[in-house]
Structure 1
Amino acid sequence: MSHPNPHPVGPILLLDDVADGRMILSALFIVAAGDVPPPVELPGSAVPAVALADYAHATVWRVRFALPADRASSYRWNGETFEVAGDLTGDLRLAYVSCNGEEIGDMDREGSERNAMWSRLRDDHRRQPFALMLHGGDQVYADEVTRGHPLSDEWPDHVPDNPSPEALADLRDHLRTRFFDRYAALYAAPELAWLAARVPSLMQWDDHDICDGWGSLRPSRTGSAVGQALFGAARDSFLLFQHGTVAGDLPGRFADPAGGHLGWTIHAPGLRILAPDLRSERTRRTIMGTGGWDMMEAEAGRAAQGHTLLMSSVPLLGPRMSLLEAVMVAIPRMQKYEDDLRDQWQSRSHRDEWRRVLGLVRDMAQKDGHDVTAISGEIHLATRAVMDLGKGLHLHQLVASGIAHRAPPKGWARFLGALAWLGENPLPGHPIRIKPLPGQRGRYVAERNFLVLERRSGDWDARWNLEISGLTAPLAL
């Protein structure tokens, strides 16, 4: 059950939008029930907090305010000054992270081990600050929130038929509390808390923010009353804790104000960050629904100068997973992994959608004559790929995963590397090649990691920070 936290959590800085030369920010706070967090202090003003959600022992509050988007600045809260790099107009550094947890026992892990890469990222910011922190999915591993309630204890293997309204209401309360507990614990971790108070975050979700394989599970699970209660609790918690908002109050960067899907776009000088929602409309046969595709089509037709960062929570470029999928479906004891492979763009079930999105990316790049870089997490490995877009342009795929999830066995990395030898060519004339990171021999690296993206004099490069191997040489984008 949820317990009171003697210390307030926050500020957690979230970027609502960039407009009129300003960063529109939300600062999130979690304080004990009955307490009110102090206001955020800016030159000449103090902005009070607004309560967003009440829990048994705590309340979640938000302060919305603006800082310059063309220079470094600061704000004060509770007697402390927080420096924010903030300049999105010239040279800048971005951090990209994903997979902040593990499926089983994540709440019980020892903090310094679990957050070792967060500590390294914090030290990196102290040496040379980041303007933004991009979170590419699985910010929270919620797989165990279903435990401890009779309706969901055996999810997804067994789902009760026709639960009573009273039992469902009790389940919703249970799930809501369990999501709160996990988010509050994550944001209280000192390594992340220090960074999150100084570097505005932009987040998109993936399956573990809901449950393992959400959308790739069978409709009898996801469409059930229990499945919908789980999705509803996850969605409300995602909006609250990852975007500092509630339904009906989405920031301007979201494509659908009604929240039918939760894709968003940021437009800054010389930079577009495009983050489609690959979960809200997902089914076993589709990755995005009408709303998601409308957003992507609109962005493909929009003029954009500079560089586009496309956040695809599952890697956009990858090896021939469809071959592995066919083998696993044919072997009964391997069929339990089918949902994991259906999660991928490369799945046999999503082949047409994969071609469609790659065609959009190609057209997007060729329209304005600029390269597009896809950044992804999800696979708990570090890797990269390149797709020739024609006209001298390329789609770079950078995968950084995970910052807290421990790496899989090195044999899995070697197996995927061998699979990548086959190459892939879903769009004729635009071959995909999986390539090693700078300085690495294998195509996949089985180490915890995060990614640093840097723009200098208009040119972009990327470096992976690997837990054991350290910082790679820069890769020009």
Structure 2
Amino acid sequence: MSAEQSASDAITPYNDSHGVGTGPQVVNTTNELEVIVGPLLNYRRMSNDMSREPIWHGSVLVVTTPSQKHPELTLRPAGAVNPNEGNSIFSGPGNKSFRGEKLYEDPDKAFWRFIIDLPFQQFEARWEYRIRGLTYLHGKDADKPQVFAVPSIAQSMRILFHSCNGFSVGTDVDAWSGPALWNDVLRMHEQKPFHVMIGGGDQIYNDGVRVDGPLRPWTDIGNPHKRREFPFGEKMRAECDEYYFKNYVRWYGQKPFSTANGQIPQLNIWDDHDIIDGFGSYTDHFMRCAVFRGIGGVAHKYYLLFQHHMAPPKSTYTTDAPKTTSVGPDGTPVDPIQLKGTFVKTDDHEDPCFIIGNKPGPYVEERSRNIYCQLGARIAFCGIDARTERTRHQINYPETYKLIFDRLSQEFTANKELKHLVLLLGVPIAYPRLQWLENIFSSPLIAPIKFLNKRFGFGGGFFNKFDGNVDLLDDLDDHYTAHQHKHERRDLVHMLQNLAKKHSIRITILGGDVHLAAIGRFYSKPKLGIPAERDYRYMPNVISSAITNKPPPQAVANLLARRNKIHHLDHDTDETLLEIFDRDPGHGDKANGATNGAVNGTASGNGSGNGNGKVNKKTGDKNHATMPSRNYAIIAESNPTPTAASSAPAPSASAAPTANEEAPAATETTPPAAKANARKPIHAGEKGAGTGHPAAAGLMATGLCGRYGLDITLRVEISPSDKEGHTDGYGFSVPALDVGSGYVDHGARG
């Protein structure tokens, strides 16, 4: 081969049918793939075909320097999770290779995605993947295998849930030991692997863009009118693009979070901090300003790439390109300036896991991306995109709710083996009302103080830099319990109740955002005399936040606990928080031994100290409902089906067991008395809720709540000074729903 031919082979035309733009032309001819960040592992869905084993579908993403050759990923079986399990012989193909697809490339970086799939086995299995030739820019060896776990064909997934994975502007990161709780996640994962980790929003905090980033000059403008009229030109767009990308690289490449990213498949929705604090909840005329529209587009671009492994829109909003300011039903029109030296994949097919909204959102001018998938044998999952369509007065369009519930009803009709729906919302829905605080912040009494703040800076950080309102008001407006979302919230709960009743599906809701841990519940009023096992209105709301950000002060948590009234959603439905926190983390006998060890740097238990051999008190003596300490949650079946490999001979795929026939159905709980305190346990799975509950450790199935029950664990940080992030556990269990043919609903609603 001549030198001319070799050089010619290194030139690849970029302008083809698979993308737009011209992009860098010189292709790297070395065998090394210089990675900037990754690999990032995602779970997408499972597909069922009765003629063979169900298929697990996912993806792997790496971000590299530009002008690389097409990389390849190799996937191979890595043995049973339990090596003592009998008959653990892998079925289906052995090693599989997957070619990388280029999603996006500009002169600085390239995003490569590998769509992978594998057959579920008769046993819980480990799988190993490797991308050959991977090296980090800083010389670190990346050419090593990553391993993840997949449940057996007969099991549901073991779920990790987290939210608020970052720090608010101004937080002393060192005082909070950085993202320390991810060390605890990895310890738990090593003992009993997670099959999926669900991100409830704020997987990254991009708020610094207005403090030490390109939005600082705009933020410093004192006149609200001038701030609203400020243009979002190409220079600012490019600077914001660089800021968001580098912030993702910094955070997603930081251990121990980066280690979890490559070993536990992710499944995410987004929230405001993935864009900027309060996005969507400021006044409409301010949200429609050029800068907010611009950063909404840039944040959405990197949200799709990093969190969903999807190709972004070809262009984002900029005032220098008039076409991009008029968004049509298909999104933002092409801006040739943005595409200079850039490639964007344009033939990317939507995965069936996504439920795409019918029209663009009001401020993020793209269609919402809701998720449905199945988490193993008996658990369905739905994540509602509660940010793309959000305004101060709505969370989602009515048409989007219809799309979601039509899809859910279709899935439950087609698959009668499903027993649970895990519903993910960005914010809690069963949570204390704070309307009295909203009224104060919005009242005329605040007006004189706002004036002094505007003219003389009086009030400091009490007012936000965007629209001049009280800084906490956008957070309160985010809540489903905010007065302007009252009707939408009630309608959503009623739709969930109808779905649960029609399909006999237990619904457990996940929510984050509020930087503390709690368990809310909806349930039928005690006067109706319905046991929880037959109560389609019983829906727990697992509130787990934050895994990284600092919690609110103790006084705020205690105030919320005092507001923990028994609220009446409607004539038949009540709601309140469960008093699950029987003590502060680290104050029990189990944790104290580890506390003293952690102070000396030798902890091996569940606890940690504050550097003085003591554990700080986190809550008031009367507060058993809210916990202001970093945390994450674990959800798993309380009666997991034995894997098919544990019995001989192994059944065929079509005959594989889908239920634990040995586990008894739940014994009906005696309904609480009409005047019982519903803040206390109201069924057998809630009895003894807290550190003494069998589910508290988060490692072993409890066997509670009968066949198809769920165990819920809140793992709560003991001390922020512990760099290893040791936690204490609080548990309870959730029964499956069995409406039954003889069920009679004595309530007013159908």
TM-score (norm 1): 0.91
Does 1:41 pair with 2:74?
A: yes
1:155/1:476 Cα in 2 relative to 1: closer, same or farther (>3 Å)? farther
Corresponding residue number in structure 1 for 2:178: 114
Partner residue in 2 for 1:186 = 251
Larger radius of gyration: 2
* CA deviation after TM superposition for structure 1 residue 312, in Å: 0.8
Q: Find 2:125's aligned residue among 46, 49, 72.
A: 72
Structure-to-structure mapping, 1:232-381, within 5 angstroms:
232-247=297-312, 249-256=349-356, 260-268=367-375, 269-299=377-407, 301-302=409-410, 304=412, 305-330=418-443, 331-332=445-446, 335-336=469-470, 337-381=472-516
Residue in structure 1 matched with residue 723 of structure 2 by the alignment: none
Aligned-pair CA distance for 1:160: 4.0
Q: What amino acid maps onto 2:372 in structure 1?
A: T
Q: Give the equivalent residue in structure 2 for 1:449.
A: 631
Q: Cα offset for 1:236?
A: 1.1
Partner of 2:187: 123
2:23 corresponding residue in structure 1: none
Between stretches 201-210 and 452-461, larger displacement belongs to 452-461
Shift of 1:171: 1.9
Equivalent-residue separation in structure 2 for 1:125 and 1:111 (angstroms): 26
Describe the superposition over 1:36-93 as per-residue Cα deviations: whole angstroms up to 9, x where unpaired: 5742103443222222223553222211111234442413214533222111641542
**Residue 157 of structure 1: how far off its partner (Å):** 7.7
Match of 1:434 in 2: 577
3-state DSSP of counterpart to 2:392: coil
> How far off is 1:419 after superposition?
0.9
Rounded Cα–Cα distance in structure 2 between residues aligned with 1:280 and 1:320: 24
CA apart distance, 1:177: 1.1
**Distance 1:270-1:172 versus aligned 2 partners, 3 A rule:** same
* Alignment-derived partner of residue 472 in structure 1: 729
State the alpha-carbon separation in 1 of the partners of residues 56 and 408 from structure 2: 24
Distance in 2, Cα, partners of 1:135 & 1:220: 31
Displacement of 1:7 in angstroms is 5.4
Q: Give the whole-Å Cα distance in 2 for the aligned partners of 1:110 and 1:251.
A: 40
What's the counterpart of residue 198 of structure 1?
Answer: 263
Letter in 1 for 2:367: G
| In structure 2, distance between residues paired with 1:103 and 1:154 | 19
Structure 1 residues 261-303: Cα deviation after superposition (integer angstroms, max 9, x where no partner): 1111112421111111111111111110144212333145335
Q: Give the corresponding residue for 2:523.
A: 388
Q: Are 1:30 and 2:88 an aligned pair?
A: no
Deviation at 1:402, TM superposition (A): 0.6
Which of 418, 423, 428 pairs up with 2:562? 418
Distance of 1:184 and 1:36 partners within structure 2 = 21
SS class of match (1:251): coil
**Corresponding residue for 1:97?**
162
> Structure 2 CA distance, aligned partners of 1:55 and 1:418?
53
CA offset at residue 151 of structure 1? 6.6
Q: Which residue of 2 aligns with 1:215?
A: 280
- Partners of 2:718 and 2:628 lie apart in 1 by 10
By how many angstroms is 1:17 displaced?
Answer: 2.3
Deviation at 1:148, TM superposition (A): 2.5
Counterpart of 1:148 in structure 2: which amino acid?
P
Preserved contact between residue 381 and residue 400 of structure 1 (Cα < 8 Å): yes
Deviations for 1:88-132, whole angstroms, at most 9, x for unmatched residues? Answer: 6415421001001122157x8449911210111011101110000
Closer/same/farther in 2, CA of residues 41 and 110 from structure 1, 3 Å limit: farther
Change in CA separation of 1:18 and 1:193 when aligned onto 2, cut-off 3 Å = same
Match of 2:207 among 132, 140, 143: 143
| Structure 2 residue matching 1:374: 3-state secondary structure | strand
Aligned-partner Cα distance in 1 for 2:223–2:187: 43
Distance 1:431 1:294 in 2: 25
Q: Please give the alpha-carbon distance, in whole angstroms, between the structure 2 residues aligned to 1:423 and 1:199.
A: 38
Q: Which has the higher strand share?
A: 1
Asked if structure 1 preserves the Cα contact closer than 8 Å seen for 2:718 and 2:728, the reply is no
Contact 1:156 1:221 in 2 (8 A): no
Q: 1:220-274: CA deviations, max 9, x gaps?
A: 2221222111111111111111101024643221111876111111124211111
Tell me, yes or no, if the aligned pair for 1:417 and 1:442 is still in contact at 8 Å.
Answer: yes
Shift of 1:475: 0.8
Q: CA deviation at 1:321?
A: 2.0
Given the superposition, is the C-alpha separation of residues 201 and 383 from structure 1 closer, same or farther in structure 2, using an over 3 Å criterion?
Answer: same
1:86 corresponds to which residue?
150
Amino acid at match of 2:493: L
- 1:400 match: 544
Alignment of 1:146-161 (within 5 A): 146=210, 147-149=213-215, 152-154=218-220, 158=224, 160=227
Separation of aligned partners in 1, 2:264 and 2:118: 12
Name whichever of 261-270 and 79-88 sits farther off.
79-88
Matched to 1:279, the amino acid is: R
Give the superposition deviation at 1:444: 0.5
Give the counterpart letter for 2:546 in structure 1: G
Tell me the C-alpha RMSD between the 2 structures.
2.6
Cα offset for 1:195? Answer: 1.5
8 Å Cα contact 2:274/2:299 also seen in 1: yes
Superposition deviation, residue 346 in structure 1: 0.4
Bigger shift: 186-195 or 68-77?
68-77
Structure 1: how far apart are the matches of 2:41 and 2:407? 26
Letter in 1 for 2:214: G
Secondary structure of the equivalent of 2:292?
helix
SS in structure 1 at match of 2:633: strand
Contact map agreement 2:214 2:236 (CA 8 A) in 1: no
Question: Contact 1:68 / 1:87 at 8 angstroms: preserved in 2?
Answer: no
| Residue number in structure 2 paired with 1:10 | 38
Report SS of the residue matched to 1:114.
Answer: coil
- The number of equivalent residue pairs is 469
Query: Normalization by structure 2: what TM-score?
Result: 0.59
Give 5+ residue unaligned stretches, structure 2: 1-32, 49-53, 76-93, 133-142, 313-347, 359-365, 413-417, 450-461, 463-468, 525-529, 584-622, 641-707, 720-726, 735-750
Counterpart CA distance in 2 for 1:417 and 1:49 is 51
Task: Check conservation: 1:438, 1:475, Cα contact below 8 A.
Answer: no
**Which piece of structure 1 moves more, 143-152 or 244-253?**
143-152
Percentage of pairs with the same residue = 22
SS in 1 for 2:487: helix
